[in-house]
């Protein structure tokens, strides 16, 4: 496995080793010992989630507050998404900055997003099967998020705003300024 740190400290792109032959392929998607060794973390994932979405669906930018904050290891099994993490760690030198990575069933890349980040993705292919591990359990009362089209973030979602499909709830998330004021 190849692990590359992004411009945001603690966010990693993981490229698993893929073994191809005439039958298809095999890859190890996760090994706690190797993951912790290569990233310098001591992560214990406790929950796996999966979503299926159509082209243009944007989920995010979500995070959980306080003791329910979550680190995530995300990947796409089928299809293609643009995956985005936004640094919300107030003492960080990259606070308010984001990184965007294309994840697909073809490239088999994974993206590790530590606690203290907002996370979201938009589906670029006709459909996408998205899978992720979390190091903390979901808690509805602790959910929050940052507005995907916040002008200060200036995220290029690589899809026109008219083609984005988003929930009413996600359209009412906090701006970065409001997040700073409230937290």
- Whichever domain contains 27, its CATH number is 2.60.120.10
pLDDT at 149: 97
pLDDT at 107: 97
pLDDT at 183: 81
Residue ranges of the chain with per-residue pLDDT less than 50: none
3-state secondary structure the chain: CEEEECCCCCCEEEECCEEEECCEEEECCCCHHHHHHHHCCCCCCCEEEEEEEECCEEEEEEEECHHHCCCEEEEEEECEEEEEEEECCCCCCCCCCEEEEEEECCCCCEEEECCCEEEEEEECCCEEEEEEEECCCCCHHHEEEECCCCCCCCCCCCCCHHHCECCHHHHCCECHHHHHHHC
Tell me if residue 98 is catalytic: no
pLDDT at 182: 84
Structural domain that includes position 121: 2-182
* Global confidence as pTM: 0.94
* Catalytic position from the list 12, 119, 132, 148: 132
* Catalytic position from the list 12, 62, 98, 148: 62
Tell me if residue 119 is catalytic: no
pLDDT at 100: 98
**Number of domains making up the chain:** 1
């Amino acid at each position: 496995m190849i692990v590359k740190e992004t411009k945001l400290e603690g966010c990693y792109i993981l490229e698993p080793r893929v073994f191809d032959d005439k039958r298809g392929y095999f890859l190890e998607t996760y090994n706690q010992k190797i993951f912790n060794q290569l990233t310098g973390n001591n992560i214990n994932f406790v929950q796996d989630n999966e979503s299926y979405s159509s082209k243009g669906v944007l989920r995010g930018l979500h995070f959980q507050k306080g003791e329910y904050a979550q680190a995530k290891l995300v990947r796409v099994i089928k299809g293609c998404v643009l995956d985005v993490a936004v640094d919300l760690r107030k003492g960080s030198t990259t606070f308010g900055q984001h990184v965007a990575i294309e994840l697909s069933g073809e490239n088999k890349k994974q993206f590790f997003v530590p606690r203290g980040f907002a996370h979201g993705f938009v589906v670029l292919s006709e459909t996408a099967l998205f899978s992720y591990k979390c190091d903390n359990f979901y808690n509805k009362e602790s959910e929050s998020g940052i507005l995907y089209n916040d002008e200060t973030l200036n995220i290029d979602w690589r899809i026109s705003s008219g083609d984005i499909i988003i929930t009413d709830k996600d359209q009412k998330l906090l701006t970065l300024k409001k997040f700073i004021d409230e937290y």
